[in-house]
């Protein structure tokens, strides 16, 4: 294993114990477990940040020490390097990852990120979050995550196919329909999943049933589930519908801004619009746009499909980054990458609720500012759990050779989201804590119960 980079982002996170620091209570980024396990000292390190939020919840609920250390590190960290022939005949070496965080509740489960800036620490954090998410939302899976250090938009379809199939071959012995089940994530899509399923099926031709169940998020034509493509956005909306009334916000007419307009952002926008909300500002890597009268979420999704981002969309004004964050809305949905809502962004935000569509979009320092400003955060392990929940339905359909209609998928998803939101609400009441801590407690309670009966071998 190579050492992961300290942090991708500039060190703007509040340092501990600074005079005038808004932090109250124990500093989120120190914990005896970090020293015991030799964690990186950098408070901006994503893995340290992610685990620190869990440890805060673990301390509050008195989680046994052995579970804290087991959950603070992944079980397996797999890194592969593999050569692929480019269209011009030259070979390039690619790096791929699969981190298997925990499988106490079932097979490892989680997406594959295709991004030029993916590092081991990102993958570890995301795998960790999958364990928590699957536990909270009540599916029988553990947590895993993987990826390839590649910019999928810079390769031809033929090159991507060779990259994806070669990566699948490199990790084929480490995954399986009953062991570790990948899925799409940032930069990967249903076509990539189809190539993975096909390659894995080819490699495992002599044995195994339903080899296509090795991966979810497949095209509907090849073992995919209806409703999987929109599932994460649907889950964000289901969570909002469940949580907004107690915050005295009506979804009808509610104003929304969205950061990132890929799968999660665009489906959240479209479904929210269908429910009567108004999308008034959107930003991605190509620019920021606003229209107080409402941006047509469907037209914007089509524009992004054609032009690769929101930049240049007609029927909206071009705004700058600061204006985007300062736009007055009821709900802000970060649906892009990790660590995007740091202290400066949190200070600028003019919203009542942050609904985390992305994984780990808010840093601990950003979160402290939001808390101080009375902005409610619906944490990612609850809010964006819709994707993996429908992945579970896809896996069940593959395993039972059945196909569900969309109504059944949406109905079952809604049940899981409402149940998970209920667990978070109960934990918040019982432990008098914020929603993120409550969500971790909800997840940890199920893991604790499983470990109590399973024990730790030998």
Number of neighbours of residue 73 by Cβ within 10 angstroms: 17
Stretch that binds ligand GLU, among 5-13, 83-91, 107-115, 243-251 (CB under 6 A): 107-115
**Residue 440, phi-psi category: left (phi > 0), alpha (psi -120 to 50), beta (remainder):** alpha
> Which of 239, 391, 397, 437 forms a contact with ligand GLU (CB under 6 A)?
391
CB 6 within 8 A of CB 39: no
Provide the CA 357 distance to its chain's centre, in angstroms. 7
Distance CA 169, CA 308 (A): 30
Q: Which residue number is nearest to ligand GLU in terms of Cβ?
A: 111
Binding mask 178-207 for ligand GLU (x = CB under 6 A): -----x-x----------------------
The candidate with the shortest Cα–Cα distance to 281, out of 244, 316, 311, is 316
Q: How far is the CB of 217 from ligand GLU (least distance, A)?
A: 6
Cα(54)–Cα(364) distance, integer angstroms: 12
Q: Is 445 in the site for ligand GLU (CB under 6 A)?
A: no
The encoded tokens of residue 270 equal 């479209």
For residue 143, state whether it binds ligand GLU (rule: CB under 6 A): no
423 is catalytic: no
Q: Which stretch binds ligand GLU (CB under 6 A): 44-52, 57-65, 233-241, 386-394?
A: 386-394
Contact call for residue 109 and ligand GLU (CB under 6 A): yes
Nearer to ligand GLU, 185 or 229 (CB): 185
How far is residue 311 from each of residues 148, 299, 326, measured CA to CA in Å? 27, 13, 19
Q: How far is the CB of 337 from ligand GLU (least distance, A)?
A: 12
**Counting Cβ atoms within 10 Å, is residue 157 exposed (0-12), middle (13-18) or buried (19+)?**
exposed
Distance of closest approach, residue 386 Cβ to ligand GLU, in angstroms: 8
Q: Which residues contact 44 (CB under 8 A, 6 or more apart)?
A: 6, 7, 9, 11, 13, 339, 363
Burial state string for 417-444 with b = 16 or more CB within 10 A and e = fewer than 16: beebbebbbebbeeeebbbbbbbbbbbb
| Minimal distance, residue 392 CB to ligand GLU, in Å | 8
x-marked contacts with ligand GLU along 349-368 as a string, rule CB under 6 A: ----------x---------
Contact map string, positions 203 to 242, toward ligand GLU, x by CB under 6 A:
-------------xx-------------------------
Nearer of residues 215 and 447 to ligand GLU, judged by Cβ:
215
In this chain, which of 96, 111, 260, 364 binds ligand GLU, going by CB under 6 A?
111
One character per residue 56-95, x = contact with ligand GLU (rule: CB under 6 A): ----------------------------------------
CB of 21 to ligand GLU, least distance (A): 32
11, exposed or middle or buried, with CB in 10 Å at 0-12, 13-18, 19+?
exposed
**DSSP-assigned beta bridge partners for residue 145:** 99
Please say which residue, 127 or 249, places its beta carbon nearer to ligand GLU: 127
**What is the rounded CA–CA span in Å between residue 128 and residue 101?**
6
Catalytic residue among 109, 145, 255, 448: 145
Instruction: Write out the DSSP string of 248-273.
Output: T--STT-EEEEE--SHHHHHHHHHHH
Active site residues: 145
Residues binding ligand GLU (CB under 6 A): 109-111, 183, 185, 216-217, 359, 384, 387-388, 391
């Amino acid at each position: 294993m190579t050492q992961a980079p300290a942090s991708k982002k500039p060190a703007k996170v509040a340092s501990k114990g600074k005079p005038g620091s808004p932090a109250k209570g124990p500093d989120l980024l120190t914990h005896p477990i970090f020293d015991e396990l030799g964690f990186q000292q950098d408070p901006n390190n994503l893995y340290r940040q992610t685990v620190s939020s869990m440890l805060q919840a673990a301390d509050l609920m008195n989680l046994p020490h052995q579970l804290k250390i087991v959950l603070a590190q992944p079980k397996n960290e797999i890194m592969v390097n593999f050569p692929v022939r480019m269209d011009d005949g030259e070979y390039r070496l690619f790096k791929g990852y699969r981190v298997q965080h925990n499988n106490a509740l079932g097979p490892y489960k989680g997406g594959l990120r295709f991004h030029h800036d993916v590092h081991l620490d990102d993958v570890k954090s995301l795998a960790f979050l999958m364990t928590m998410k699957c536990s909270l939302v009540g599916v029988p899976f553990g947590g895993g995550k993987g990826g390839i250090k590649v910019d999928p938009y810079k390769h031809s379809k033929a090159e991507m196919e060779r990259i994806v199939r070669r990566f699948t071959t490199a990790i084929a012995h480490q995954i399986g329909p009953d062991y570790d089940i990948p899925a799409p994530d940032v930069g990967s899509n249903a076509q990539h999943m189809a190539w993975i399923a096909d390659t894995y099926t080819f490699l495992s031709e002599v044995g195994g049933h339903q080899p296509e169940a090795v991966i979810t998020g497949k095209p509907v034509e090849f073992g995919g589930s209806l409703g999987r493509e929109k599932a994460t956005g649907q889950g964000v909306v289901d969570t909002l519908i469940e949580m907004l009334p107690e915050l005295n916000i009506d979804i009808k007419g509610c104003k929304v801004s969205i950061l990132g307009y890929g799968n999660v952002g665009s489906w959240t926008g479209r479904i929210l619009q269908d429910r009567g909300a108004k999308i008034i500002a959107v930003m991605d890597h190509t620019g920021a746009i606003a229209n107080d009268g409402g941006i047509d979420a469907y037209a914007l999704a089509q524009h992004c499909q054609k032009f690769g981002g929101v930049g240049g969309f007609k029927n909206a004004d071009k705004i700058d980054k600061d204006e985007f964050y300062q736009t007055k809305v009821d709900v802000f949905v970060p649906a892009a990458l990790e660590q995007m809502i740091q202290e400066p962004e949190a200070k600028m935000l003019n919203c009542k609720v942050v609904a985390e569509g992305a994984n780990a979009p808010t840093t601990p320092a950003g979160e402290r500012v939001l808390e101080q400003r009375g902005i409610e955060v619906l944490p990612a392990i609850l809010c964006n759990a819709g994707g993996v929940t429908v992945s579970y339905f896809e896996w069940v359909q593959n395993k039972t050779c059945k196909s569900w209609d969309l109504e059944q998928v949406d109905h079952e998803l809604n049940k899981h989201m409402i149940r998970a939101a209920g667990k978070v609400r109960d934990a918040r009441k019982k432990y008098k804590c914020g929603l993120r801590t409550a969500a971790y407690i909800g997840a940890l309670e199920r893991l604790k119960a499983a470990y109590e009966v399973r024990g730790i071998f030998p």
